[in-house]
Amino acid sequence: MLGSRMASYLLSIGFVEAKSDTSLFVYQRGLDTAYLLLYVDDIVLTASLTDLLRQIISALQREFALKDLGELHHFLSMHV
């Protein structure tokens, strides 16, 4: 199952599971923070620094076949 494999990988690279939502993962490095929401086979990722965002995307692409759709415009049929 991709979800559990993804969750294991995220934990291995320093993300922690949010206590309030098991589909939300948080990464902190000093003052920099990234949030990753995993919903079935969709990912919403944001970070406090563009460099951190790129590093995380690269790490995920090395492990999984991912397609970066760029900036978020729609998620779960909602306009963002």
Taking 50 as the threshold, does the pLDDT of residue 4 lie above it? yes
Domain annotation covers residue 75: no
pLDDT score recorded for residue 3: 63
**Please, are residues 47 and 58 in contact by the beta-carbon 8 Å criterion?**
no
Q: What is the CATH number of the domain that holds 56?
A: 3.30.310
- 16 lies in a domain? yes
- Domain hosting 17: range is 2-68
Q: Are strands 74-75 and 78-79 parallel, antiparallel or unpaired?
A: antiparallel
Residue 15 within a domain: yes
- Could you tell me the CA-to-CA distances from 12 to 68, 77, 79 in Å, in that order? 21, 31, 32
- 59 occurs within a structural domain: yes
pLDDT tens track for 58-80: 999 999 988 777 776 566 656 66
CA–CA separation, 58 vs 73, rounded Å?
21
Nearest 5°: CA angle at 4, between 77 and 19? 75
DSSP β-bridge partners for residue 55: none
pLDDT digits (tens, 9 = 90+) for 19-70: 998 899 999 999 999 999 888 778 889 999 999 999 999 999 999 988 777 7
- How would residue 1 be classed by pLDDT, with cut points 50, 70 and 90? very low
Comparing CA positions, the residue from 67, 60, 73 lying closest to residue 13 is: 60
Q: How many domains does the chain have?
A: 1
